[in-house]
Structure 1
Amino acid sequence: MAPSLVAVDPADSANLERFVDLPRRVYADDPRWIEPMRESVAADLVGKSAFRAYAGLQAFVAMDGDEVVGRCAALLNPRLLAADGTPLGQVGHFESIDDRQAARALFAAAFDWLRARGARFASGPMNGGAHRAHRLLVEGFEQEPFLLEPRNPPYYPRLFADSGFQRLHTWRSFDWQLPQIERLLDAISGGEERVRKRGDYRVEAMDGADRGAVLGRLHTLLDAAWSGHLGYAALDSAELVEGFAGLLAVMSPRSLGVLVDAHSGADAGLAYYYPDYAAEVRALRGEASGWGRWLASGVRPKRAVYHTIALRPEVRSIGAAQFLLAEMVRNS
Structure 2
Amino acid sequence: MIEIKEVRPNSKEMQDFLALPKTLYQPTFLTQSETEEKAQLLGEHELSSYYQLEALVAYKEGRPTARLAIIGYPKENKAYIGYFEAQNDWQTVRKLFETVKAKVRAQGKTHLVGPVNASFWLGYRMKLDHFDQPPFTGEPTGLAFYPKLWQRAGFQLSETYGSVFYRRVPLDDHQGRLEKRYHQFLSKGYTILSPKPNDWTRVSAQVFRLLSTLYADFPLYHAISEDSFKELFAPYRYILDFSMVKLAYKDDQLVGFLITLPDYGNLVYQKKHPINLLKLLKIRKKAKRYLILYLGVAPDHLGLGSALTYPIYQEIKARKALAVGALIHQGKITEHYAPTLKADNHHYGLFEMIL
Same topology, TM > 0.5: yes
Is 1:268–1:311's contact at 8 Å kept on the other side of the alignment? yes
Q: Aligned to 2:11, which of 10, 13, 24?
A: 13
Q: Which runs of 5+ in 1 are unaligned?
A: none
Paired residue type of 1:4: E
1:272 matches 2:271:
no
Question: CA distance change for structure 1 residues 61 and 178 in 2, over 3 Å: closer, same or farther?
Answer: same
Deviation at residue 178 of structure 1 after TM alignment? 2.4
Equivalents in 2 of 1:103, 1:233: separation in Å?
28
Equivalents in 2 of 1:105, 1:43: separation in Å?
27
In structure 2, the residue matched to 1:305 is 291
Is 1:192–1:319's contact at 8 Å kept on the other side of the alignment? no
Paired residue type of 1:50: E
Question: CA distance change for structure 1 residues 88 and 202 in 2, over 3 Å: closer, same or farther?
Answer: farther
Equivalents in 2 of 1:101, 1:203: separation in Å?
55
Question: CA distance change for structure 1 residues 193 and 91 in 2, over 3 Å: closer, same or farther?
Answer: same
Q: Which runs of 5+ in 2 are unaligned?
A: 317-355
In structure 2, the residue matched to 1:35 is 31
Q: Aligned to 1:22, which of 20, 23, 32?
A: 20
Question: CA distance change for structure 1 residues 182 and 140 in 2, over 3 Å: closer, same or farther?
Answer: farther
Deviation at residue 68 of structure 1 after TM alignment? 0.4
Q: Which moved more, 1:89-98 or 1:210-219?
A: 210-219
Equivalents in 2 of 1:242, 1:236: separation in Å?
10
Q: Aligned to 1:240, which of 225, 229, 240?
A: 229
In structure 2, the residue matched to 1:111 is 101
SS of the residue 1:6 aligns to: strand
After superposition, the CA RMSD in angstroms is 2.6
Equivalents in 1 of 2:258, 2:148: separation in Å?
34
1:132 matches 2:122:
yes
Equivalents in 1 of 2:291, 2:231: separation in Å?
20
Provide, for residues 31-59 of structure 1, a one-character-per-residue CA deviation record: whole Å limited to 9, x for no partner.
53133221111101110001112210000
Equivalents in 1 of 2:111, 2:211: separation in Å?
26
Deviation at residue 172 of structure 1 after TM alignment? 1.2
Deviation at residue 184 of structure 1 after TM alignment? 8.7
Equivalents in 1 of 2:172, 2:298: separation in Å?
27
Deviation at residue 25 of structure 1 after TM alignment? 0.9
Is 1:226–1:311's contact at 8 Å kept on the other side of the alignment? no
Deviation at residue 150 of structure 1 after TM alignment? 0.7
TM-score using structure 1 length: 0.85
Structure having the larger proportion of residues in strand: 2
Equivalents in 2 of 1:260, 1:159: separation in Å?
47
SS of the residue 1:301 aligns to: coil
Is 2:267–2:280's contact at 8 Å kept on the other side of the alignment? no
Provide, for residues 223-252 of structure 1, a one-character-per-residue CA deviation record: whole Å limited to 9, x for no partner.
112121221221223432343222331111
Paired residue type of 1:7: E
1:1-332 map, 5 Å: 1=1, 3-10=2-9, 12-27=10-25, 30-78=26-74, 86-179=76-169, 185-186=175-176, 188-189=178-179, 191-192=181-182, 194-197=184-187, 199-261=188-250, 264-278=251-265, 280-281=267-268, 284=270, 287=271, 292-295=277-280, 300-315=286-301, 318-331=302-315
Question: CA distance change for structure 1 residues 182 and 202 in 2, over 3 Å: closer, same or farther?
Answer: farther
Q: Which moved more, 1:67-76 or 1:103-112?
A: 103-112
What is the identity percentage for the equivalent residue pairs of Structure 1 and Structure 2? 22
Paired residue type of 2:131: F
TM-score using structure 2 length: 0.80
Is 1:62–1:106's contact at 8 Å kept on the other side of the alignment? yes
Question: CA distance change for structure 1 residues 219 and 179 in 2, over 3 Å: closer, same or farther?
Answer: closer
SS of the residue 1:203 aligns to: strand
- Which fold has the larger relative contact order, with Cα–Cα distance below 8 Å and residues 6 or more apart in sequence? 2
Provide, for residues 168-224 of structure 1, a one-character-per-residue CA deviation record: whole Å limited to 9, x for no partner.
222111222223898693454555554444x14332312234442232222222211
